[in-house]
Amino acid sequence: MRIIKSIFSWILPIVIGLGLALILKAYIISPVRVDGDSMMPNLQNNEHVVILKTKPIKRLSVVVFNAYKLAPDTNPKTEFVKRVIGIPGDRITYTKTGHLYVNGKYIKQPFISRQQQATGTLSNVNDNGFNLSMLSSKWNRGRQTAVVPKGQYFVMGDNRNISYDSRYWGFVPKSHMEGVVYTFPWDSNRSEINNYG
């Protein structure tokens, strides 16, 4: 009987600890490893970050989402990390000089260089700038829109030259969102991520 009590006394805390860890990972906070260079220079390939699943998604938040059935050639486990540029109801205009306007208001992008704002953002899209109506007419889904639809988001990677994002395939539904990215205190670009979350 003592042996059973002894075993139970050290197994129970382990089981409780594992249960709490699973609940935290499923509903509150989860570790993630960045795969790729689409968020350079602010997030590096193989960098470890966390996603906060209860944090509200705001404009300029960095998020992780499931890209399956959004971006072509993705599988059910494909996750992307990008920055939210437009939230539901937003009108987005990007000028040929690299200026971002949301609902007619100029939005600063201090988290990327002037080159990324101008040539990087416009490369392979439209050198004269773009708006949602222009982009949505190219997504071939039969519906053109001037605003970000309800329950959806427009996202771009910080490394605009190589980022495969909403400019190419469209909006991200809220149901695909995994959470808002936070970096650790020792990360050199922490303010470029955490200040917008």
- Give the Cα separation of 190 and 103 in Å (integer): 28
- Does residue 6 have an active-site annotation? no
- Give the Cα separation of 56 and 54 in Å (integer): 6
Which pair of structure tokens corresponds to residue 95?
């000028």
- Give the Cα separation of 168 and 122 in Å (integer): 11
Pick the catalytic residue from 61, 82, 136, 163: 82
Other beta carbons within 10 angstroms of residue 186's beta carbon come to 6
- Does residue 82 have an active-site annotation? yes
CB 194 within 8 Å of CB 182: yes
Pick the catalytic residue from 6, 30, 38, 69: 38
| Cα torsion 119, 124, 126, 128: sign | positive
Element (H, E) at 194: helix 190-194
Residue 185 identity (one-letter amino acid): P
Please identify which residue in the block is written with the tokens 């490394």. Answer: 159
- Give the Cα separation of 73 and 136 in Å (integer): 19
Other beta carbons within 10 angstroms of residue 194's beta carbon come to 18
Active site residues: 38, 82
